[in-house]
Amino acid sequence: MTLACAFGVRQAEIDDALAGFARSARPWSFILFREACVSRAQVTKLCADLRHAAGHDAIIYIDQEGGRVARMRGPNWPAWPAAARYGELYAKDAALGLEAARLGYRLIAHELKQVGVNADYAPVLDVPVDGAHDIIGDRAFSRDPDAIAALGRAALNGLREGGVLGCIKHMPGHGRANADSHLSLPTVREGRNELGADFAPFRALNDAEAAMTAHIVFAAIDPERPATHSPIVIEDVIRRDIGFSGLLASDDLDMKALEGPLQTKAEKAFAAGCDLVLQCTGKVADMEQVAKGARTLAGASLERAERAAKVARTAAQPFDAAAGWWRLRALLGPAIRAPV
């Protein structure tokens, strides 16, 4: 049995403390952060060591959206464009925008799969609005829900073709947040009718294998609890209204939008309906606290996790990466930096 957790790794090599915890806890997943991504050979070894320590074929995630959210960076990795670049092209020529989005995320998948990373916390399906905090900004494809849905589908397909599991985020929508949930708890006060546009891209991609929650209070739905801790938001909105039936992961429990000790944060997320929780400091002591409030994967959550893992463990389709980079530069311009 595996623990329904994804733990952040912020070190280039596994040490005795992390190996011992992984061996005893057997988490379903690990998440690589910038400090864990030094070189291709090093990441390949780290992924193998993490799986060996956990005693099973653990899913290895990363946040590799492109633009400012990229854990793998130069000089050892190429620089992918922010999602908004695809949206700009889509606004001029929808077909070319969709081609670029699929290709860009296919190229991300190519790099990830080569080093043993088989899951990506992308694409972002949030719909930014005027006056919101800029934490989403150019991480969003567009401000048009239909364009976001179309480009998100293309991105998700690109990842799948590369044998990488995607994760749509931040459900049911982070685009109206009036604060950065890493630092404080945002509150969205619009009613259900106004929120329909925010939910629309997630509804269009409700067949995605995995999704991540938003640490946001939706006052018109549950004024007391952020979505991650709200059974009303998860059951009524995410599962029923949006119709999402895949693996639902919390956003990082360490974010300051959530109050209380880590064990309690984990317990509340599971009680609300999350299948999996994330904890990202990279500190074993923090992992141990989350593990105390966590569950092993079982029942419907296990079934969802197995469906998601099937994508991550699928071999990549044949792909000419050099030709792909050439085409992406032709679509988005010479500023796109291909691998050297």
State the residue range of the domain holding 150: 3-39+57-332
Q: Which of 126, 138, 198, 251 is catalytic?
A: 251
Is residue 337 one of the residues assigned to a domain? no
CA distance 2 to 273: 18
Tell me, what's the pLDDT at 180?
78
CA distance 293 to 316: 36
Is residue 84 one of the residues assigned to a domain? yes
The string of pLDDT tens digits covering residues 62-88 is: 999 999 999 999 899 999 999 999 999
Handedness of CA 25, 33, 181, 123 (dihedral sign): negative
pTM to 2 decimal places: 0.97
Helix (H, G, I), strand (E, B) or coil at 314: coil
Residue 335 has pLDDT above 80, yes or no: no
Report the b/e string of 292-303 with b at 16+ CB within 10 A. ebbbebeeebbe
Indicate if 144 belongs to the active site. Answer: no
Is residue 92 one of the residues assigned to a domain? yes
Indicate if 251 belongs to the active site. Answer: yes
How many residues in the chain? Answer: 340
The string of pLDDT tens digits covering residues 191-247 is: 988 999 999 999 999 999 999 999 999 999 999 999 999 999 999 999 999 999 999
Tell me, what's the pLDDT at 226?
97
Residue 257 has pLDDT above 90, yes or no: no
Is residue 339 one of the residues assigned to a domain? no
The string of pLDDT tens digits covering residues 20-79 is: 999 999 999 999 999 999 999 999 999 999 999 999 999 999 999 999 999 999 899 999
pLDDT band at 114 (very low <50, low <70, confident <90, very high): very high
Residue 340 has pLDDT above 70, yes or no: no
Residue 253 has pLDDT above 90, yes or no: yes
CATH for 320: 3.20.20.300
Tell me, what's the pLDDT at 183?
84
The string of pLDDT tens digits covering residues 146-205 is: 999 999 999 999 999 999 999 999 999 999 988 878 888 989 999 988 999 999 999 999
Is residue 50 one of the residues assigned to a domain? no
Q: Which of 15, 93, 182, 320 is catalytic?
A: 182
CB of 9 within 8 A of CB of 50? yes
CA distance 165 to 54: 20
pLDDT over 70 for what percent of the chain?
A: 100
Is residue 340 one of the residues assigned to a domain? no
Name, in order, each residue with C-beta under 8 angstroms of 318's C-beta and a sequence gap of 6 or more. Answer: none
Choose between 164 and 338: higher pLDDT: 164
Quote the DSSP letter at residue 183: T
Could you check whether the bond before residue 186 is cis, i.e. omega within 30 degrees of 0? no
Burial of 228 by CB count in 10 Å (0-12 exposed, 13-18 middle, 19+ buried)?
Answer: buried
Burial of 306 by CB count in 10 Å (0-12 exposed, 13-18 middle, 19+ buried)?
Answer: exposed
Number of domains in the chain: 1
Q: Where would I find the beta strands (DSSP E) of the chain?
A: 3-9, 27-32, 59-62, 64-66, 69-70, 119-120, 168-171, 187-188, 210-213, 217-218, 247-252, 276-279
Is residue 46 one of the residues assigned to a domain? no
Is residue 52 one of the residues assigned to a domain? no
